[in-house]
A and B are shown apart, each in its own frame.
Chain A
Amino acid sequence: EAAVTQSPRSKVAVTGGKVTLSCHQTNNHDYMYWYRQDTGHGLRLIHYSYVADSTEKGDIPDGYKASRPSQENFSLILELASLSQTAVYFCASSDNTEVFFGKGTRLTVV
């Protein structure tokens, strides 16, 4: 079964600190995505990648960097965390038929 694993599942970070969210897939998919969800909003695309060592900006990339060191791993990096980045973050991978999501990471910036 397709699997996308996110870590950590929950994190509290201080304003101005650096945060790295990790995602690992065992699906052998080329495409991976990072979305965020805020209360009152649907999931919004931050960054995505279609091949290792390459990332693309999504709809809301400001304040985020992404890294795809291998096909299996895709990280989201907040260099200077801000209060507005408190949200639930979802990683996903896709093949030609379906997008598979991780369970989400709840990030609270204080």
Chain B
Amino acid sequence: GDSVTQTEGPVTVSESESLIINCTYSATSIAYPNLFWYVRYPGEGLQLLLKVITAGQKGSSRGFEATYNKETTSFHLQKASVQESDSAVYYCALADSGGSNAKLTFGKGTKLSVKS
């Protein structure tokens, strides 16, 4: 089946430092899955942070970026300068199709703490 592996947490970085959370995937149900990063802030549900549906493309949102690399089957999340408000749990995920019936496969989540 499909699987997603991401950086084990917790991860602690200082404000204004750079961040990378690694994500690699294995997709057996579809050759080029849609890839996602979700974020869960304390007390909230998961929110879509960014998604990329085309291999080789980069997605970006709120200062975060991730590039869909089909050669290395990776989708690492990066930010040049984190803020305390970025403290949250980040989930990498893939979808087995592009439609509304897509089922998501998630990584275990990476808890990020940003210290001031």
Task: List residues of chain A with CB under 8 Å of any chain B CB.
Answer: 4, 29-31, 33, 35, 37, 40-45, 48, 50, 58-59, 90, 92, 94-96, 98-104
B45 and A101 contacting across the interface, CB-CB below 8 Å: yes
Q: In this assembly, does B116 line the interface, its C-beta being within 8 Å of a C-beta of chain A? A: no
How many whole Å from A36's CB to the nearest CB in chain B?
Answer: 11
Task: Give the chain A neighbours of B102 by CB distance below 8 A.
Answer: 94, 99
Task: Give the chain A neighbours of B106 by CB distance below 8 A.
Answer: 35, 42-44
Q: In this assembly, does B99 line the interface, its C-beta being within 8 Å of a C-beta of chain A? A: yes
Task: List residues of chain B with CB under 8 Å of any chain A CB.
Answer: 1, 4, 38, 43-48, 51, 91, 93, 98-109
Q: Give 4 closest A-B pairs by Cβ, nearest first.
A: A42-B106, A101-B45, A101-B46, A103-B45
A42 and B45 contacting across the interface, CB-CB below 8 Å: no
How many whole Å from A23's CB to the nearest CB in chain B?
Answer: 11
Q: Please give me the residue from chain A that is nearest to B104 by CB atom.
A: A99
B100 and A45 contacting across the interface, CB-CB below 8 Å: no
How many whole Å from A39's CB to the nearest CB in chain B?
Answer: 9
Q: Contacts A42-B109, A103-B45 hold; do A96 and B103 have CB atoms under 8 A apart?
A: no
Q: How many A-B residue pairs have CB under 8 A?
A: 54
A103 and B44 contacting across the interface, CB-CB below 8 Å: yes
Give Cα A48–Cα B102 distance, bound, in whole angstroms. Answer: 11
A43 and B91 contacting across the interface, CB-CB below 8 Å: yes
B105 and A42 contacting across the interface, CB-CB below 8 Å: yes
Q: Please give me the residue from chain B that is nearest to A5 by CB atom.
A: B45
Task: Give the chain A neighbours of B48 by CB distance below 8 A.
Answer: 98-99
Task: Name the one of B4, B103, B107, B109 contacting A48, with C-beta atoms under 8 angstroms.
Answer: B103
Task: Give the chain A neighbours of B38 by CB distance below 8 A.
Answer: 101
B104 and A104 contacting across the interface, CB-CB below 8 Å: no
How many whole Å from A40's CB to the nearest CB in chain B?
Answer: 6
How many whole Å from B74's CB to the nearest CB in chain A?
Answer: 17
A103 and B100 contacting across the interface, CB-CB below 8 Å: no
Task: Give the chain B neighbours of A92 by CB distance below 8 A.
Answer: 46
